[in-house]
Amino acid sequence: MKQRLLILVLTLSSAFDASAQQPSLLAEDNLEPHTLRMLTSRPPSQRDLVAGCRHLALEVDANAFFLDSERQMNQVKGYTVTGFRLSPTLTYGINERAQLRIGLNATAFAGLDSLYRLRPTFSLVYAPTRWLTLIGGTICGSHTHQLAPIVYDPARWIFNYQEDGLQILTDTKIWRSDTWLDWTRYLTPWTPDQERFTMGTSHTLLLFNNVKEYTVRDFESGEINDLKIKGWRIELPVHFIACHRGGEVKTIDTNTVTVFNERVGLRFARHFSRNPRRSLNKLALDISVYQYHLEDRNVDRPGQAFNPTLSYEWLHFSKYQQPDWNLRAVAGFVHSNNYFSALGDPAYWNFSPYSALHIPNAKIPENSWLNNYFSFGLSAAHEFKGLDLGLQFNVINDLDVHDTDLFIGFFMRFKERFLLF
């Protein structure tokens, strides 16, 4: 465990050693194809920090959602939830590089007599350069980490949206990364409980890019008739995540345990468009291998999963060059052997979380479990006068036992910034 934590610390420090570069105008958004773009949260850009310097503003983030998860596999039961989350935030621009943010997250589920969750938010954002952003306090979590469902359950956007800790974000022409610490539970002295936290780092390195914009001219007049975009991008996505549960208190009957998840892969993306100012198409093949490892004093259990996906995405732009329509379709295959992820979609687990986390009295499988899954996802999002509407449909079929899980979600999100002074 100490060696793995040392690797993460070295990765954290390496985030400061890259040379500053301007992000490419054609740099794609590396969100996993299962994720709606409208569900991400991003830190303020350098332009936002300069514009908000010495100003107080109110940011309103309102979300309405409906989620139906029909489960037939043995790992987890199904559920249906509809609700609303309101996240007002006061922001103050300390200077042209730093911003203070104070607010709250209030989540209400229909059918409950009280709020499901009410938590304050505090964060300090510092962007010393164009390519580096540091966040302390409430970080940009959830889908912003850009993790696949096999590692990060999409439903966590509803149930475990807020993350608090430290975060380092980089965005250059050839490298994007997100390194974070989410401290889930603090262990106060003399408390019969355990501390819980997650450390992770996710990187995407651009290996090859010949995506270019071409002009099509009339042969006789020489005038430009049309613009086209075409070309390939080859990227190397990697990540390392450690979920720890432990502490010094030994008055409860649970173990100190750490779950590690790693990923390494290749992503091939073909961009093409006949009118890049109005729409953009992307066909992508992702071939990734995922590793799972559990460590405690009694168990040292490894596992792995192979997950190739093929996706198609269509983006349509408004007259202001902002995406107003987004359609995605993705098909994938998962072959897993004794695999588990503490934050992932339970449909991909090979055994129950009680045995995976080595909770006492839980049945631990003696042999590796093999599973083969087929997955298909379809999502659509549209921005209508500042209001984002999203529809998401995912299906996972266990090819060995012929069980199918369905995930259907409808989302509405309104985000606006009001200048107070």
Q: How far apart are CA 309 and CA 225, in angstroms?
A: 36
Contact yes or no for 108/116 (Cβ under 8 A): yes
Average per-residue pLDDT in the chain? 83
Provide the token pair at 124: 């300090």
Contact yes or no for 229/211 (Cβ under 8 A): yes
Q: How far apart are CA 358 and CA 257, in angstroms?
A: 8
pLDDT of residue 17: 39
Compare 18 and 93 and report the one with higher pLDDT.
93
Residues 6+ positions from 408 with CB-CB distance below 8 Å: 67, 68, 69, 70, 392, 393
DSSP-derived secondary structure letter, 73: S
**pTM listed for this prediction:** 0.85
pLDDT of residue 200: 95
pLDDT tens-digit map of 125-140: 999 999 999 999 999 9
Q: Alpha-carbon torsion 185, 190, 191, 196, what sign?
A: positive
Would you say residue 163 has pLDDT above 60? yes
DSSP-assigned states of every residue in 204-259: EEEEEE--EEEEEE-TTT--EEEEEEEEEEEEEEEEEEEEEEE-S--SSS---EEE
Contact yes or no for 214/272 (Cβ under 8 A): no
* CA dihedral angle for residue 330, residue 343, residue 350, residue 357, rounded to 10 degrees: 170
* Structural domains of the chain sorted by starting position, each given as residue range(s) with its CATH number in brackets: 2-419 (2.40.160)
pLDDT of residue 23: 34
**Average pLDDT over every residue of 307-330:** 86
pLDDT tens-digit map of 255-269: 678 889 999 999 999
